[in-house]
Amino acid sequence: MLDSYYSQFIQTLPHYSIKMKAIGGYYFLYVRSNENETKTKESIQSAASDITKQTLLTFECESVRTVNGIHVFRFRFLVPREKMFCCGNECPNCIRF
């Protein structure tokens, strides 16, 4: 259900080479960049905030490690605790909208 947000997120960062892997229920971003970790994380957070601006979604981005110019971040979009899934009843507070 959040896959469209993740794909949109990856598309907003075309100047980075990004691989996304799902491991243990978390998404990990493998970002190849010549920039330092802090600058790369700021770019990721800026792109994520642009996507979540018009929704109730928030995001979480944690730096995991950097090896040979590849920065690894644990990243996920978070839905509000009030409603964690779409029940299909077209509720006014549906997380799909």
Residue 75: pLDDT band with limits 50, 70, 90? very high
| Average pLDDT of span 18-25 | 90
How far is residue 37's CA from residue 22's CA, in Å, rounded to a whole number? 21
Residue 26 has pLDDT above 90, yes or no: no
How far is residue 60's CA from residue 74's CA, in Å, rounded to a whole number? 8
Tell me the pTM: 0.77
pLDDT at 83: 60
pLDDT at 63: 95
Residue 12 has pLDDT above 70, yes or no: yes
Q: Apex CA 10: angle with CA 5 and CA 11, to 5°?
A: 95
Residue 97 has pLDDT above 60, yes or no: no
3-state SS class at 58? strand
Find where tokens 């077209």 sit: 90
Find where tokens 């491991």 sit: 23
How far is residue 91's CA from residue 97's CA, in Å, rounded to a whole number? 10
